Structure 1
Amino acid sequence: MPLWLNIISRAILFMIVLFFITKFLGKKQLSQLSFFEYVTGITIGGIAAIVILEVRHSIIIGGLAILVMAAIPYIVGLIALKSKKFRDFVEGKGSVFIKDGKIMEDNLKKERYSTDELLELLRKKNVFQVADVEFAVLEPTGDLSVMLKKENQPLTAKDINLTFASIKEPQTIIMDGEIMDEPLATIGRSRDWLHTELEKLGATIENIFLGQVNSYGELKVDLFDDKLQVASPQERPLILSTLKKCQADLELFALGTESKEAKQMYSKNSEKLQEAIEKVTYILKS
């Protein structure tokens, strides 16, 4: 076999082997690596490169070496799941850099981080003042986790006692002009419903690059031709306008009747409906 063909066949073979090994080890290998995983990855890559380029080396021996190196992190991972001490030794522990708003200089020196590097990590988290930070820890992966002081944290709905309905994940039901039947069935919709919604929007399946149904059951589409405009769903604005009309009608009935009891009933229900409208307006307008 010619040398160039031998190298190409080895490269393809080991690419396939490494693909299945990485798939077997799991998605964790694709995220930020621990010390042990970093060393293992470099070693496996080095073995593969040597066997591919140095044709005098046996493919079987090279493949065996890669399998052994791949088995080691798998076994280590199983042990680490059962032993906290072993996990801390292999994967490392987080180092506290800021506690109670104060920089832990000893921990910075221990991890060999300078003040400039700490500030850089904070800026990546959109934090520009150390005084704004309550707690910050350097994770074993090298990422900095930051908790701001209470007064510097973004305002949440819970802080102002607002309650929100749970939001379901959007379902992609059209992709590249093709209908995805499984997610369509997941939300309990049919193709007939989809075609009806597309008629409302003035679009066809073939023209749609991506179509998703949100938690309110509304269809949102992105067309292949970005110059074309698609009508927005009108169900929620229509509901809001209907509620407002009903509330206005109740006020008119209260003003138009001469019966005391009827006037009180209309006024009371008008106030209740107004309260309901105020609570759902942010949902129906979003």
Structure 2
Amino acid sequence: MPEVLEIVVRTLFAVVVLFFLTKILGKRQASQLSFFEYITGITIGSIAAYISLDTDKTWHLGLIALGVWVGCSLLIEFLQIKSKKARDFIDFKATVLIKDGKILEENMKKERVSTDELLEELRKKDVFKLADVEFAIMESDGAINVLQKRENMPLTPKDLGIKVAPEKETLAVIMDGEIMDEPLDTLNLSRKWLQTELEKLNLTVKEVFLGQVDSYGELTVDLYADNVKVPQPQDKPQLYALLKKCEADLELFGLSTKNKAAKQMYGNCSEQLQELLQKLKPFIQN
């Protein structure tokens, strides 16, 4: 076999082997890699390059080395999952850099973090004033997480006593102009329902680049034609407006009638509808 062709074959072989070994090792973002996993990744890449380019007859030994490295990595991951002591020994421990709003200089020196680097990391978390920080910790991967003082944290609906509807996963039911049956089945919806919703928007499946349905059954679409504006569904706001009108009508009927029993009935119905609207508001009002 010519040397050039042999290198091409070896390279393709190394790519396939690396692909399957990577699948075995699992998926992690580069920022989530531990120190040992980072070294393992570099070493495995170097061995794969050796398998591709080494022209002597010992290149197959690189496969054995790859297997050993992957085996060691899997063993260490297993130990990390099973033992807290193993995790602390293999990975770096998290280090507190700011506690109760005060910088811990000794921990800064230990982690070799300068004041400028700390301030830079705080700015990445949208914190520009040290006095706003309650707690900051450097994780084992080197990332710095920050907890701001309570008075500086943004308000949430819970802080204001507002009930918000629970949010669930939004699923893609149309992708690249094709209907996805599995997500529709997960949502207990049919193709007929989807076609009906598209007809409301005067669209066909082939015009839709991406279509998603949320947990409340509302369809939103992105079209291939970027200059076309898609009308937003108005069913829920219209329903809310209709219920509010019913509530106002009941109050009006209660005020206009002279019959005490009817006035009481209209008042009770109005109050019940008002309570119902408060419960439904997070779900049907945009």
TM-score class, shorter: over 0.9
| SS in structure 1 at match of 2:32 | coil
Aligned to 2:269: 269
Task: Give how far 1:279 is off.
Answer: 5.1
Is 2:23 aligned against 1:2?
no
Is 2:201 aligned against 1:201?
yes
Aligned CA distance change for structure 1 residues 171 and 61 (closer, same or farther; 3 Å):
same
8 Å CA contact 1:132, 1:149 repeated in 2: yes
Aligned to 1:16: 16
8 Å CA contact 2:164, 2:282 repeated in 1: no
Task: Give how far 1:30 is off.
Answer: 5.4
Q: Matched residue pairs, number?
A: 286
In 2, the alpha carbon distance for the partners of 1:57 and 1:267 equals: 93
| SS in structure 1 at match of 2:97 | strand
| SS in structure 2 at match of 1:113 | coil
Letter in 2 for 1:46: S
Two-structure CA RMSD over aligned residues (Å): 1.7
Aligned pairs for 1:1-286 (under 5 A) are: 1-28=1-28, 32-56=32-56, 58-278=58-278, 280-286=280-286
Q: What do residues 159-199 of structure 1 show as CA deviations (whole Å, max 9, x unaligned)?
A: 22222232221111110011110110111111111111111
In 2, the alpha carbon distance for the partners of 1:11 and 1:124 equals: 41
Task: Give how far 1:78 is off.
Answer: 1.2
8 Å CA contact 1:29, 1:37 repeated in 2: no
In 1, the alpha carbon distance for the partners of 2:131 and 2:11 equals: 53
Task: Give how far 1:18 is off.
Answer: 0.9
Identity %: 54
Q: Which runs of 5+ in 2 are unaligned?
A: none
Aligned CA distance change for structure 1 residues 140 and 86 (closer, same or farther; 3 Å):
same
Task: Give how far 1:153 is off.
Answer: 1.3
In 1, the alpha carbon distance for the partners of 2:31 and 2:183 equals: 28
| SS in structure 2 at match of 1:134 | strand
| SS in structure 1 at match of 2:209 | strand
Q: What do residues 242-272 of structure 1 show as CA deviations (whole Å, max 9, x unaligned)?
A: 1022112112211321112212321343244
Letter in 1 for 2:284: L
